[in-house]
């Protein structure tokens, strides 16, 4: 699977502000960058820093007034589909140390508040079978609704409201998985067929020795997701963080499958 990615960002920054940009597809064993070009109109040089867990990279820059960025890439996805239901259990005490932060509650994923629900609803399940049941539950109980949530909406709020956008689906699945003893992290990604076209958020679950991408909105399969960044929740994977104030003028994300 090869994807063509085309992104344009145009914002007006109120005064001047430092900006953290996170829109480049990440290199990795399951995806290869065949072509990549990032252009940012800025008075200061870009400074690249590693992303969470060493996946992808962020770029620091300084913006003043008009801020414009363009990103083009061709990504080859090398990932093979996996049947989560067949994946076995690893006792928490034997999990690698890098998974520990993804077992704990975070700002937008209050997994400790959902432990009782997971035990009551999915008691007896673990690892792959539990992951499948949680994905089915989130997909079946939430309604995708643009504008139904905001930047402050948490997994617990989505659990109560039963509607949201991709970020909310990812937060709730991650929180439920952590509540069930499965390390889970949020992932920003590019995917074809996302409606409306935009930066996409999915979950990644650590089961049976590896990370597995899951899109609870069911807009994209794991073999057509181009990973950008990972983190505990949306705080870590935001495509742009402005340390100041900014107004959106134009934002366009186009992802196309290539023959």
Digit-coded pLDDT (tens) for 131-190: 999 999 999 999 999 999 999 999 999 999 999 999 999 999 999 999 999 999 999 999
Q: Is the peptide bond before 196 cis (omega within 30 degrees of 0)?
A: yes
User: In terms of domains, do 153 and 40 share one?
Assistant: no
User: In terms of domains, do 93 and 209 share one?
Assistant: yes
pLDDT for the residue 45: 87
| CATH code at position 250 | 2.60.40.2250
User: In terms of domains, do 121 and 151 share one?
Assistant: yes
Overall average pLDDT of the 239-243 stretch:
96
Phi and psi torsions of 143, nearest 5° = -110, 130
pLDDT value at 224 more than 80: yes
User: In terms of domains, do 89 and 53 share one?
Assistant: no
Overall average pLDDT of the 223-252 stretch:
96
Please check whether residue 239 is in contact with residue 22, taking contact to mean a CB–CB distance below 8 angstroms: yes
pTM recorded for the entire structure: 0.96
User: In terms of domains, do 167 and 105 share one?
Assistant: yes
What does each C-alpha distance from 246 to 11, 39, 45, 64, 163 come to in angstroms?
Answer: 6, 19, 20, 10, 27
What is the number of structural domains in the chain? 2
98-135 core/surface letters (b: 16 or more CB in 10 A; e: else): ebeebbebbebbbbeebbeebeeebeebbbbbbbbbbb
Overall average pLDDT of the 95-119 stretch:
98
pLDDT for the residue 63: 87
User: In terms of domains, do 10 and 112 share one?
Assistant: no
138-150 tens-digit pLDDT:
999 999 999 999 9
What percent of the chain lies above the pLDDT cut of 70? 100
Query: Which range of residues forms the domain containing residue 133?
Result: 84-237
User: In terms of domains, do 163 and 245 share one?
Assistant: no
User: In terms of domains, do 70 and 138 share one?
Assistant: no
60-91 tens-digit pLDDT:
999 889 999 999 999 999 999 999 999 999 99
State the maximum Cα–Cα separation within the chain, in Å, rounded to a whole number: 58
Q: What tokens appear for 104 in the block?
A: 């704990």
What percent of the chain lies above the pLDDT cut of 90? 96
What is the Cα–Cα distance from 7 to 45, expressed in whole angstroms? 20
User: In terms of domains, do 114 and 21 share one?
Assistant: no
| CATH code at position 231 | 3.10.620.30
pLDDT for the residue 141: 98
pLDDT for the residue 100: 97
What residues form DSSP beta bridges with 232? Answer: none
User: In terms of domains, do 106 and 196 share one?
Assistant: yes
Strand intervals (E) in the chain: 2-21, 31-41, 47-50, 57-77, 143-144, 163-164, 184-190, 200-207, 210-214, 226-231, 240-243, 246-258
User: In terms of domains, do 93 and 189 share one?
Assistant: yes
Instruction: Give the angle subtended at the CA of 165 by the CAs of 147 and 6, to the nearest 5°.
Output: 95
User: In terms of domains, do 118 and 224 share one?
Assistant: yes
11-56 tens-digit pLDDT:
999 989 999 999 999 999 999 999 999 999 887 889 999 999 999 9
């Amino acid at each position: 699977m090869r994807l063509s990615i085309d992104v344009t960002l145009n914002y007006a920054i109120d005064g001047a502000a430092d900006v953290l940009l996170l829109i480049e597809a990440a290199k990795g064993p399951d995806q290869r960058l065949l072509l990549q070009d990032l252009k940012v109109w800025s008075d200061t040089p870009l400074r690249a820093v590693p992303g969470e867990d060493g996946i992808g990279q962020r770029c620091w820059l300084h913006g003043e007034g008009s801020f414009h960025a363009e990103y083009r890439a061709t990504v080859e996805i090398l990932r093979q589909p996996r049947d989560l239901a067949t994946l076995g259990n690893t006792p928490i005490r034997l999990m690698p140390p890098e998974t520990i932060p993804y077992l704990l509650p975070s700002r937008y994923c209050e997994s400790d508040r959902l432990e009782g629900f997971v035990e009551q609803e999915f008691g007896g399940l673990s690892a792959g079978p539990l992951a499948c049941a949680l994905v089915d539950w989130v997909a079946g109980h939430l309604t995708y609704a643009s504008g139904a949530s905001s930047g402050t909406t948490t997994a617990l709020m989505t659990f109560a409201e039963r509607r949201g956008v991709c970020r909310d689906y990812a937060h709730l699945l991650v929180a439920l998985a952590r509540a069930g003893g499965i390390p889970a992290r949020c992932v920003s990604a590019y995917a074809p067929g996302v409606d409306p076209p935009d930066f996409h958020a999915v979950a990644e679950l650590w089961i049976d020795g590896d990370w597995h991408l899951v899109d609870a909105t069911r807009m994209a399969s794991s073999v057509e997701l181009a990973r950008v960044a990972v983190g505990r929740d949306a705080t870590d994977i935001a495509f742009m963080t402005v340390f100041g104030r900014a107004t959106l003028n134009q934002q366009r994300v186009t992802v196309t499958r290539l023959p």
